[in-house]
Amino acid sequence: MRIFVLGNCHRPGVSEEAERLLPLLREHAEIVLSDLCQEADLTGLSADLTLVLGGDGAILRAARQMGYRQTPVLGVNLGKLGFLADLSPDQLRDCFPGVARGEYRVTRHLMFECVLELAGQRRTFLGLNEIAVQTAPPFHMIELDLIVDGEPASRYSGDGLIVSTPIGSTAHSLSAGGPILGQDLSAFVITPICPHTLTNRPVVDSADKVYTISVRRAPSGAFLVIDGQETVPVADGHTITVRRAPVSFGLVKVAGRSYYQTLRDKLRWGEPPNYRDEPSAGA
């Protein structure tokens, strides 16, 4: 097996954990490239699997770093929640010999292309989680029109708008009140951020449609954010088009790990609420 090893070298413990894991990895696989700062150009390189050390943010960077030649990703969580990077280093040590023998499955997930245009100038971004068009301090309202497949859908006034994939539905969109989508769905969720009109609600629609956001009025400092990591200023007249990317993201799954198990573990589903500390004895 040929592998890329990528990761977030800025997160404490990643470089040290990589040093501990490299002997095991080399024993079972050929390391084509090790890039813990995720700066290398992967053009012209190929591998069977990408091992990502860090957290979900490192996986989002890896997906964009691989660009239009996606390699299935196995994530090792050295961060916090870890919806995508759901293996611990010890779990990786246990399962990697089997992974090297092909004992895993790959689930495929929607990625998006985002095109930002103004006066004939255009930039294209590839992403996995979401795009957000939002304001910055002092947080004056932004006004946006949403057009779906050429048909006007809604006008939003508020702090902004999120267009998320199913993978991204447990990220920024969830914190803004959006729904959790099954990761294998072919859909986008459009989630307003603090809308001024209370009837504006999240909408789930097909990923086969094209979503265009027209910036009617943007306060100074408004910006477009790709996957919570790339930031581009936006102004009046900008249009932002979101559509299905021509590539999909591959997530490596090993035996015993499922999406609902991840949701139970990370969101503590099924656990009783702990509203306050237990009273001390004699209280």
Which residues are identified as catalytic?
56
**What separation in angstroms does the CA of 7 have from each of 105, 125, 264?**
22, 21, 26
Q: Cis peptide before 279, with omega less than 30 degrees from 0?
A: no
d(CA 11, CA 268): 25
Give the E-state strand segments of the chain in sequence order. Answer: 2-7, 30-35, 49-54, 73-77, 105-118, 121-127, 130-134, 142-148, 151-158, 160-164, 187-193, 203-206, 211-217, 223-226, 230-233, 239-253
Contact between 31 and 16 under an 8 Å Cβ cutoff? The reply is: no
Tell me the sheet residues that pair with 251. 73, 107
Largest CA distance in the chain: 73
Contact between 159 and 135 under an 8 Å Cβ cutoff? The reply is: yes
Of 149, 273, 271, which Cα lies nearest the Cα of 209?
A: 149
Residues 6+ apart with CB under 8 A from 144: 133, 155, 156, 157, 160, 161, 213, 214, 215, 216
